[in-house]
Amino acid sequence: MKPVFTYSEGMERVETSYCPGCTHGIAHRLIVETLIENGELGNAIGVCPIGCSVQAHKFMHVDMCEAAHGRAPAVASGIRRVHPDKPVFTYQGDGDLASIGMGEIIHAASRGERFTTFFINNGIYGMTGGQMAPTTLIGQRSTTSQDGRTVEANGMPIRVAELIAAVDGAAYVERVALDSPAHIRQAKRAVQKAFAVQKMGVGFTMIEFISSCPTNWGLSPVEALGWIKEKMIPYYPLGVKKDITAQNVQEEEA
Amino acid sequence: MTKKFRVELIKDRCKGCELCTSVCSRHLLKMDTHLNHKGYASVTIENMDACIGCINCALICPDGAIEIFQLEEGDKE
């Protein structure tokens, strides 16, 4: 029998702590698959966040270290400077990156640190029980916005990919979604591109994954994917937000 | 000869989220009434011969519970 799809060797053969239908498992798999394809699984160093993926080091067969809440970019900056030949990445959720860690991520991008951030945007605080995040949509209910988020009280949700793309040190920023097989294939290409740009050493790279949280959204896993398509993608448009390697090619051609 | 595929469902990894059943392009995946050791109704496949190997189910499975192989000549079905 010829294997067409087998579970990545880069994933540990343990039970993940994620709820049924949580797309964290897909994002983990795309990262380790890419590292294996690049022959870098044993070389790579990751930094875990605080959040549901706090135990990501137990699930991905990659050397990882833990950072304080939101501080993964600062830790990864140090690791990448000490190990300039190794692929370094952070794996962060929206409560971690877009809220308490907003300062770290912007400054890391601004310094053009040569690591990759994988940002999981599910619009809610998952681990702590479904509180409102900076990325919670207008009208979305959470335990701290029980009648729905309002602009007057809470402002608009932050579009992190566009924000980071506006920073000079960022080299490659793309937003992808994990709601359908086609989008997952696109997400894999984005991860490959991010590691390739990181290797070129031209600046900071970030991939934002639009992800689901069926448990805290109060939806079934299948309904949650539908909600991503109907509600999240219209507000968080997918696509490449910045690619300085493409700009260089255009300038050379011109 | 049309290609034939074998879908390996690792039922003990399955958490019964049903994402695979929603993306199967031939609607072959169904939920089992039998519960696995975690207490989730795991996924099962009807009529494996109709599988076209699109791997949609394996791509979307967050828990690595689905592996797909293409049968070659001489393989037992």
Residue B15 lies in a domain: yes
Q: Containing domain of residue B64, as a range? A: 5-70
A41 three-class SS: coil
Nearest CB among B17, B56, B67 relative to A221 is that of B17
The count of domains in chain B is: 1
Check A4 against B16: CB less than 8 A apart.
no
Q: Which residues of B65-76 are buried (b: 16+ CB within 10 A; e: fewer)?
A: bbbbbebeeeee
Closest in A7, A180, A220 to B67, CB measured: A7
What's the sign of the alpha-carbon dihedral A148, A150, A155, A159? Answer: positive
- Cα A224 from Cα A126, distance rounded (Å): 14
User: Is A20 in contact with B67 (Cβ distance < 8 A)?
Assistant: no
ipTM value > 0.90: yes
B77 falls within a domain: no
**CA-to-CA separations, A58 to A10, A55, A61, A206, in angstroms, rounded:** 11, 6, 7, 23
Query: Is residue B41 in a domain?
Result: yes
Rounded to a whole number of angstroms, the distance from the CA of B38 to the nearest CA of chain A is 10
At B51, which CATH number?
3.30.70.20
Report whether A28 contacts A46 (CB < 8 A).
Answer: no
Nearest CA in chain A to B25: A181
Structural domain includes residue B76: no
For the full predicted model, state whether its pTM sits above 0.90.
yes
**Probe site for chain A from B19, B22, B29, B73 (most A CB atoms < 10 A):** B19
| Position B27 in a domain | yes
Taken in order of first residue, the domains within chain A and their CATH numbers are 24-253 (3.40.50.970)
CB contact under 8 A, A4 and B13: no
Strands A239-243 and A170-177, sheet pairing: antiparallel
Q: How many residues does chain A have?
A: 254
Question: Closest residue of B to A188, CA-based?
Answer: B59
Nearest neighbour of B59 by CB, restricted to A15, A181, A221: A181
In a domain, B28, yes or no: yes
Contact of A94 with A129, CB cutoff 8 Å: no
In a domain, B59, yes or no: yes
Hey, are the CB atoms on B69 and A220 less than 8 Å from each other?
Answer: no
Q: Which residue of B has its CA nearest to A6?
A: B67
| Nearest-angstrom CA–CA distance, A87 and A74 | 16
pLDDT tens series, chain A, 254 aa:
899 999 999 999 998 999 999 999 999 999 999 999 999 999 999 999 999 999 999 999 999 999 999 999 999 999 999 999 999 999 999 999 999 999 999 999 999 999 999 999 999 999 999 999 999 999 999 999 999 999 999 999 999 999 999 999 999 999 999 999 999 999 999 999 999 999 999 999 999 999 999 999 999 999 999 999 999 999 999 999 999 998 766 666 66
**Is residue B75 a part of any domain in this protein?**
no
